[in-house]
Amino acid sequence: MNILYLVIPCYNDYQAQGRYFYPAFISLMTICGFGIAWLLQRINSNKVGSLLVVLLCGCLLALSSYVFQNIYLPSA
């Protein structure tokens, strides 16, 4: 019977654990910001740098809308 719990999860805890994530969020964004700034300094062309920023923002916007539609809306 205990093997069944390994195969079929009977208890799911999908609660957001913000107390674990939020302290690391500032550090994560700082590291990402420095990484993007370093990458943009390596690129000599302003056009390519601007395109990279637009693509990163577009990916972030698409990911945010996907998470909102598929995680937050079904639970409401």
Q: Would you say residue 36 lies in a domain?
A: yes
The token duo for 37 is 């700034």
Give the pair of three-digit tokens for residue 17: 């654990």
What pLDDT sits at residue 55? 92
Q: Is the pTM of the predicted complex or chain greater than 0.85?
A: no
Q: List pLDDT tens digits, range 11-31.
A: 555 565 666 666 777 888 888
- Phi, psi of 22, rounded to the nearest 5 degrees: -60, -35
Give the chain's domain count: 1
Residue 7 in domain: no
Residue 8 in domain: no
Q: Is residue 28 part of a domain?
A: yes
2/65: higher pLDDT:
65
User: Is 9 inside any structural domain?
Assistant: no
Give the tens place of pLDDT for each residue, 25-76.
788 888 888 988 888 888 888 888 888 889 988 998 998 899 888 877 776 5
Residue 31's domain comprises: 17-75
Q: Is residue 60 part of a domain?
A: yes
Tell me if 31 is assigned to some domain. Answer: yes
CA distance readout (Å), 30 to 26, 34, 35, 55, 67: 6, 6, 8, 19, 22
